[in-house]
A and B are shown apart, each in its own frame.
Chain A
Amino acid sequence: MKKFIRAMAATAVMVMVGFVGQAMATELVVVSWGGAYTASQQKAYHAPYMKLNPGITIINDDSAGSAVAKLRAMSQAGNVTWDLVDAVASDTMILCDEGIIEVIDHDRDLAPAPDGTPASKDFGGFIVSECFVPQIVYSTTFGYRKDLVSRPMSSICDIFDLKSFPGKRSLEKKPINNLEWALICDGVAPAKVYDVLGTSAGVDRALAKLDTIKSQVVWWTAGAQTPQLLADGEVIVGSTYNGRLFALIEEQKQPVAMLWDWQVFDLDGWVVPKGTKNKAEVMKFLRFATDTQRLADQAKFISYGPTRASSAPLVGKHATLGIEMAPHMPTDPNNAKTTLLFNYEFWADHRDDLDARFNAWLLK
């Protein structure tokens, strides 16, 4: 009996300690994309921060893919359970417009560069929305199977050249990027692409160009599909995010090479949901995770370019492969000879319309 009481007491104490412990530790729910990308954030941001702040536990949630809809639903239900969300710039603009995420004062909330340059200058033009904290520059670009083509691919228009490069190609099942590439290869001056695409005849022209390769296209919806299709030899060339191709080439040693011509830059960054219960703690973490050193650190684990100008010189070697990361960055001068920057304003206006046109074209 005595033993039993003692055991009960011990349990009670343990439970109480547990409760107190829980009340003291703050849990931050950070939403990101999962896979190698979350892993790179875990190593570069989360782990060092938790080491410095023993009271903070960062919990990863991999549902960034459906974050826009979920954030809207949470905001409507008045029950926000996320503290920090990784989002692409175009989605950030929608969320910011709807008042679902917090407005950021970049100079007040974020750390200045080591030389004292304020954050807003250090990030520069990458701050595309007042709610957006830029993190990485990524690009949508092509990889091709070196062993399945007769000569190296060097131009975006090789995608549309079925004679020289017969075989299947994978493209994203979206009008974005594909229509721009089609127009460039149809002879439209790159600076004029969005003017042309703004007209109905221009869309017809882009779709007519895509028509020439339609029978040879495998359409992807998830970023992991193209690397798999390339590895299986299902396609000879395909578009996806540059970090996925880096992993395919350097980590999995597949016979694949990059085709950087007219890669499309896009941005990914942090947003703070309005109504988070840990706002003060989140802002502290955000300040830490987006400082110059941390952004440069992330590039050790994944080939996405840091958005701070001051981080670029600090990018070093890959943490496990030991190769220089700079030449694998989409922003490297050798890779960025011809680039498009995702046109946020244009796509905010035309996304619904062109998406309908594109899908109607797919159904034909």
Chain B
Amino acid sequence: MEISQEKSVLVTADGTPLKISLARAQRRSKIVAFSMVLPLLIFILIAFLIPIADMLSLSVDNSITKEILPKSVIALQNWDETSGELPDEVVFAAMVEEIKKAKIARKHTRVGQRLNYESSGFSSLFRKAGRKVKIIKKPPYKEALIKSDKRWGQIYTWQVIKQFSTEYTDGYYLAALDFKRNPTTGKVESLPGKESIYLKLFWRTMLLSSLITFLTFIIGFPLAYMLATVSTRLSNILIIFVLLPFWTSLLVRTTSWIALLQQEGVINDFLVLVGIINNDGRLAMIHNATGTVVAMTHILLPFMILPLFSVMKTIPKSYVRAAVSLGAHPWKAFWKVYFPNTGPGIGAGSILVFIIAIGYYITPALVGGSSGTFISNRIAYHISSSLNWGLGSALGVILLGIVLALFMLYDRIVGIDNMKLG
């Protein structure tokens, strides 16, 4: 009786029950494992998640108007923008006082800049007001402000300020999808054709990226197949040729394509020399969509070949041999047996190439002309040139959304577990 009880609780050498000891050891190894992942986790948090969260908040942030014109914004709430009359003296007084204050803090033009995104002219309106308000010392402020610039006497000006004084805005997203909120009515309207850019650019980016992905597959598949089937020594040498351009600077590769493809370039010269085209009919292969597709297919090719190669390496040669020995035509054996086995590699390569392609901007900027630029070129423009970070962020969030949606679609159809990177 006693013996059996003792046996039922297993203990370690120092007397602690085995269960507790095991849990302790497991906890320790869990902590060790976690602490080893911790640096990576922190890195991802700082370098990836926080910037994305920041981008999300930038794309809806509109606190600037309220921050710099708090009293005016509150006073404007009592004004009926559809009444057809200007706001009352209280609003003008608050505006003059707040522009004076903002001028000292050098912030008055920031409101102007924000509102200028919605309606051209606000930038100069606020800059000018910053110069003029210091001479306005006593009421009536209304007449004085209107005297400094007649635009303050237009109802439209105040409608815009009121309309875009909320803490958060959907204005950047609307702009990113070629819509605009009418300041007078508050209704969302789509932009006329001569002003719409972004939907076309999103569509073009997807279309050209798909084409580039398809071309890398068409070129990469036979190449990967050859690499996987020749002797290891030869394939090691050939792999170098795949990787060599991969290690070369992106700019060098892009400019080499310019030298090759331009109208006075190597390829056109050759075609003229052998008489395929005449001198006046030189082909335009660069500074258009063709240039972007050619250069990017070349640049992204390794991203297709490497996953394909690593998957093909693992397919036993005996599969195809077995199929052929059972009477299948070599082509049928390849198509029915070998090709389906490369699926995970095709999936990984395609996703990789496509996602890199839709975010590319240096190559399209250099060789894309006007018909071969991507949405990322506009994002880069808004981040580094126009400084409209709100719109740049909104475009970025939409692009991120598209990538995630495609990723999920891929998971639904093919299954993400089926993807193999090597």
> Residues of A at under 8 Å CB distance from B?
65-66, 68-69, 72, 94, 96-99, 168, 173, 204, 218-219, 221-222, 232-234, 345, 348-353, 355-357, 359-363
Q: Which residues of A contact B381 (CB under 8 A)?
A: 355
Q: Is B12 positioned at the interface, with any CB of A under 8 Å from its CB?
A: no
Within 8 Å CB of A222, what residues of B? 366
Within B4-35, the residues touching A (CB, 8 Å) are: none
Chain A contacts for B359, CB-based, 8 A: none
Residues of A within 8 A of B110 (CB): 97-98
Instruction: List the A side residues contacting B106 at CB < 8 Å.
Output: 96-99
Q: What are the residues of chain B within 8 A of A72 when measuring CB–CB?
A: 387
Is A350's CB under 8 angstroms from B370's CB? no
A361 touches B194 (CB 8 A): yes
Q: A99-B106, A173-B370 are in contact. List 10 more A-B contacts (CB 8 A).
A: A72-B387, A94-B113, A168-B263, A219-B287, A232-B264, A349-B123, A352-B117, A357-B195, A360-B194, A360-B195
Q: Are A362 and B123 in contact (CB under 8 A)?
A: no
Q: Within 8 Å CB of A357, what residues of B?
A: 194-195
| Known A-B contacts A234-B262, A352-B388, A363-B197; A97 and B113 likewise in contact (beta carbons under 8 Å) | yes
Evaluate contact between A97 and B387: CB separation under 8 angstroms.
no
A residues near B264, Cβ cutoff 8 Å: 232-234
Considering the complex, give the chain B residue whose CB is closest to the CB of A218: B287
B62 CB–A CB distance under 8 Å: no
Q: How far is the CB of A87 from chain B (nearest CB, A)?
A: 13
Q: Confirm or deny: B325 has a beta carbon within 8 angstroms of a beta carbon on chain A.
A: no
| Chain B contacts for A65, CB-based, 8 A | 384
Q: A68-B384, A98-B110, A218-B369 are in contact. Are A363 and B201 (CB under 8 A)?
A: yes
Cβ-defined contact, B385 with A68, below 8 A: yes
Contact A362 B370 (CB under 8 A): yes
The reply to whether the CB of B116 lies closer than 8 angstroms to some CB of chain A is yes
**In the assembled complex, how far is the CB of residue B386 from the closest CB belonging to chain A, in whole angstroms?**
6
Main secondary structure, interface of A, reads: helix
Can you identify 21 A-B contacts, CB atoms within 8 angstroms?
A65-B384, A69-B383, A69-B385, A97-B106, A97-B110, A99-B106, A168-B263, A222-B366, A232-B265, A348-B116, A349-B121, A349-B122, A351-B386, A352-B116, A352-B117, A352-B386, A352-B388, A355-B381, A359-B378, A363-B200, A363-B370
Q: Which of B107, B116, B120, B124 contacts A99 (CB 8 A)?
A: B107
CA A295 to CA B200, docked complex, whole Å: 47
A364 CB → nearest B CB, Å: 8
Nearest-CB residue, chain A, relative to B107: A99
Q: For the complex, what is the distance from the CA of A97 to the CA of B387, rounded to whole Å?
A: 13
With A363-B197, A363-B200, A363-B201 known as contacts, the answer to whether A349 contacts B385 (CB < 8 A) is no
- List chain B residues, Cβ under 8 A from A361: 194
In angstroms, Cα B287 to Cα A363, docked, is: 13
Is A352 within 8 A of B120, CB to CB?
Answer: yes
B197/A349 in contact, CB under 8 A: no
User: When each residue 114-137 of chain B gets 1 if its CB lies under 8 Å from chain A and 0 otherwise, what string results?
Assistant: 001100111110010000000000
The contact of B196 among A94, A351, A360, by CB within 8 Å, is: A360
Q: Please name the residue on chain B nearest to A103 by beta carbon.
A: B106
Which of B109, B122, B366 has the most C-beta atoms of chain A within 10 angstroms of its own C-beta? B109
A353 & B387 in contact (Cβ 8 Å cutoff): no
Q: Is B365's CB within 8 Å of the partner chain A?
A: yes
Please name the 7 residue pairs, one residue from A and one from B, whose CB atoms are nearest each other, closest first.
A97-B109, A362-B370, A99-B106, A69-B384, A353-B120, A349-B124, A233-B264
Alpha-carbon separation in the docked complex, A99 to B102 (Å): 11
Bound Cα distance from A73 to B336, whole angstroms: 55
Contact with A along B370-389 (1 / 0, CB 8 A): 10000000100101111110
B262 nearest CB neighbor, chain A only: A234
Instruction: List A contacts of B370 (CB < 8 A).
Output: 173, 219, 362-363
B83 to chain A, nearest CB (A): 28
Q: Which residue of A lies closest to B108 (CB)?
A: A97
A residues less than 8 Å from B123 (CB atoms): 348-349
Hey, which chain A residues are within 8 Å of B386, CB to CB?
351-352, 355
Q: How many Å lie between the Cα of A357 and that of B197 in the bound state? A: 8
Question: What are the residues of chain A within 8 A of B109 when measuring CB–CB?
Answer: 97-98
- Which B-chain residue is minimally distant from A351 (CB atoms)? B386
Q: How far apart are the CA atoms of A69 and B387 in the complex, in Å?
A: 7
Query: Which residues in chain B, 265-296, are within 8 Å of chain A measured between CB atoms?
Result: 265, 287
Chain B residues 215-243 with CB under 8 Å of chain A are none
What distance in Å separates the Cβ of B292 from its nearest Cβ neighbour in chain A? 13
Q: Which of B110, B113, B385, B388 has the most CB of A within 10 A?
A: B385
CA distance A234 to B366 in the complex (A): 15
B366 close to A221 (CB less than 8 A): yes
What's the least CB distance linking B208 to chain A, in Å? 13
A357 to B194, CA, bound (A): 7
A219–B110 Cα distance when bound, in Å, is: 32
Q: Provide the residues of chain A in CB contact with B193, threshold 8 Å.
A: 360
Q: Are A232 and B262 in contact (CB under 8 A)?
A: yes
Q: How far is the CB of B64 from chain A (nearest CB, A)?
A: 11
B214 CB → nearest A CB, Å: 23
* Residues from chain A with Cβ under 8 Å of B388 in the complex: 352
- With A68-B387, A69-B383 as known contacts, state yes or no: A356 contacts B197, CB within 8 Å: yes
Query: Which listed residue, B116, B194, B201, B366, touches A349 by the CB 8 Å rule?
Result: B116
Interface string of B292-336 (1 = CB under 8 A from A): 000000000000000000000000000000000000000000000
Q: What distance in Å separates the Cβ of A356 from its nearest Cβ neighbour in chain B? A: 6
Contacts of B197 on A, CB cut-off 8 Å? 356, 359-360, 363
Chain A min CB distance to B191 (Å): 8
Chain A: CB-nearest residue to B110: A98
Q: For the complex, what is the distance from the CA of A355 to the CA of B378, rounded to whole Å?
A: 11
Q: Is the CB of B365 within 8 A of A221?
A: yes
- On chain B, the residues within 8 Å of A355 by CB distance are 381, 386
Bound Cα distance A233, B262 (Å): 10
B residues near A218, Cβ cutoff 8 Å: 287, 369
Q: Which residues of A contact B384 (CB under 8 A)?
A: 65-66, 68-69
**Residues of chain A with a CB closer than 8 A to B122's CB:** 349
